[in-house]
Amino acid sequence: MMADPVGGYESNRLIIRVKPGVTFSKLLTGDWMLHSNIVPLNPQSDAIVSAMRHWKVMAIESALSVVPRNRALASQLGLDRSLRLSVPVGTNIPAMAAELAAFGSLIESAQPDGIGSIAGVPNDASFNLQWNMNNTGQTGGTTDADVDAPEAWDLHQGSASTVLAIIDTGVQADHPDLQGRVIPGIDTYQEGSLDSSDLHGHGSHCAGVAAATGNDGIGVAGVNWNTKILAIRCTSSGGGTTQTDTAEAVIYAVDNGADIISMSLQFSSNSAILSSAVAYAYDSGVLPIAAAGNIVGSIYPGAYDKCMAVAATTRFDQRWSSSNQGPQVDVAAPGEGVFSCWKLSGYNTQSGTSMATPHVSGLATLMLSYHPSLSPAQIESILKSTADDKGTPGYDQQFGHGRINARRALVEVAQVCPGNTNPDTQVDVDDLLRVINAWGVCSAGIGMCIADIAPAGPGDGMINVDDLLGVINGWGICP
């Protein structure tokens, strides 16, 4: 039951709307008495009073603390009949809502008081520089040439239940935008070393793109604000590494709890040990994601079948000039002039497929935190199918399946368990209420509303009885 965080609901109140003429008064015994000067009281009234006692209702008062100036219109819309029922913190509000909503002759509606936030645009001090997350043309680019991060954050900001391995130059664990979420790993370049700090800056930059804490008033926002970051250094202080050191890092990541592996690394030759390590990850249920490379040719580990390769785009939604191309490219993401974390608690602007890669790995953890049972194949398939097509229509060797779209990916993740409209892995009354609250036209467009579950796939742009039936038919624990 997801209560109190953004995207959930207040666990100490229920909002009901009574039929015209229905009121409540409290007796000295603490019980509530139901009154009606229009609707004839019936046996349901006693049942409602009993329900109030069962749910330990402490107060019933107007849901609004302000009085609408146009009282006639407010009355017509039922605002003057909207009441707030105060109950103990932690109450099972959806269950209470379902019970009271059943008294249809006296109670018009009963709904949780949902919690939201500002419309996805966080208050991080330098967020205006992050065209890659939200491109409004603020840096001279093309509007919406981004990954639709704010639109995704309206649905979910991630959770600490996922672990993203950053295999790179290390990660600064106490960086203001990463602190409290970095799990120290090892240094495979210096055998036996447990130092996973970042002497270079590249690894912290990638970690920031994927997972900087969002809406904390400082720095930048990563794709997933809450995932854990497993820091693994596999390079020298100058950024050099070997395929064996990288393979060892991949194996260490898998064996130490990683869910997704991010490798902003490039090798121009194949390697049996690195290929086997990547397969070890994939076959263990961990998806490796790597840079397509900044040089031409088959670049590893991205070119392996069991690893996703990410190309880089610009603020104009064009291919970054140095981004590798070829049949190994799976998807693309912003990679030119990306502003993110740096060593010594700093920030820096960098370009490369290195910067594109953590956009995808961060989104993969966001998807996984929404639906924890997703397999590597499912994550990869959804990332490809929901990408915004760029370049030549359909798949092409410059953009792959297109530039990733975080919002579309999350909406598609929900379809893996039809009817599950929030990240709790079960279809229940919460999902039923979410569909009811979203009733009507999907203003974001077809394929962009998480409650638009029918028909299967992108939906039809309407939240209606078909979606309600979809929830009912999918009722229960997600497979």
User: Which residues are designated catalytic?
Assistant: 168, 202, 354
Place of tokens 């929404």: 370
**How far apart are the C-alpha atoms of 80 and 100, rounded to whole Å?**
19
Q: Where are the beta strands (DSSP E) in 103-201?
A: 107-114, 163-168, 182-187
Task: Decide if 244 contacts 217 (C-beta within 8 A).
Answer: no
| Contact in structure between 7 and 24 (CB atoms under 8 Å) | no
Sorted by sequence, the CB contacts under 8 Å of residue 267 that are 6+ apart come out as: 243, 246, 274, 299, 300, 301
Distance CA 212, CA 163 (A): 14
The two three-digit tokens of residue 233, written as one number: 């250094």
Residue type for 461, please? Answer: G
Q: The tokens 């793109």 sit on which residue?
A: 209
Cα–Cα distance, 225 to 180 (Å, whole number): 12
Radius of gyration of the chain from Cα atoms? Answer: 25
d(CA 475, CA 457): 18
Distance CA 186, CA 230 (A): 9
Could you tell me which of 242, 231, 239 has the C-alpha nearest to residue 204? 231
